[in-house]
Amino acid sequence: MKKLTIAVGTTSLQKISYLKEVLKELKIKSIIKSVEVKSEVSNQPITSSETKTGSINRAKNALRKIENVDFALGIEVGYHKYLKNKYKIFCWTTIIDKHGHQISGQSYKFLLPEYHQKILDAGKYLGHNLDGYSKKIKGSISAYIDNIIRHRKPFITSALKDVLIRYLRKEDFK
């Protein structure tokens, strides 16, 4: 496979490092061009639809801003109320190529602990209120929960793998 040139609609070093990690794991050689774009959704999407729209908009806007790429990629993390009116965290990713082919992928969903539920129910930004959980609850499982919610790595990487595999092996996923 030739080296791919990928526009990614984010300047987040964290998201870019996760993308590089996934590309390395999948043995995909690439040049990544990051660009700051608007998701055109709220800073903290609270529905699956809004989160998916954010990932689509990021990919579209990156493709508009950066020329001569094989495809553009949008990454958006969000929350959605599911059973028993409880929030789950997840990620949507979208690839749009220069021919207009579009594919989106979603990570698994993780039920947020009550501490985080209360923050979202109060309409507060979760990212600014994470320290209270790690200070309040001790132990290795709590530390793990804090880590995945704070850094969002498992959600972002699983959504990236899903969308990249299905895009690069289109013939297997008709």
Lowest pLDDT segment from 31-35, 66-70, 82-86: 82-86
**pLDDT over threshold 80, residue 41:** yes
**DSSP code at position 85:** G
**What is the mean predicted confidence (pLDDT) over 59-87?**
96
Give Cα separations from 64 to 9, 81, 173 (angstroms): 10, 33, 27
pLDDT at position 134 is 66
CB-CB contact of 40 with 62 (8 Å) = no
Predicted TM-score of the model (pTM)? 0.94
> What rounded mean pLDDT belongs to the chain?
94
User: How much is the pLDDT for 37?
Assistant: 98
Q: Which domains does the chain have, with CATH numbers?
A: 4-172 (3.90.950.10)
pLDDT digits (tens, 9 = 90+) for 115-159: 999 999 999 999 888 777 766 677 788 888 989 999 999 999 999
Q: Which of 17-31, 54-68, 110-124 has the lowest mean pLDDT?
A: 110-124
**3-class DSSP state of 77:** strand
Looking at the DSSP assignment, which residues form a beta bridge with residue 92?
Answer: 76, 106
pLDDT at 158: 98
pLDDT at 108 over 90: yes
Decide if pLDDT at 88 tops 70: yes
Res 32: pLDDT: 98
Confidence class of residue 4 from pLDDT cuts 50, 70 and 90?
very high
Contacts 24+ apart (CB under 8 A), 80-83: 80/46, 80/47, 80/48, 80/51, 80/109, 81/46, 82/109, 82/111
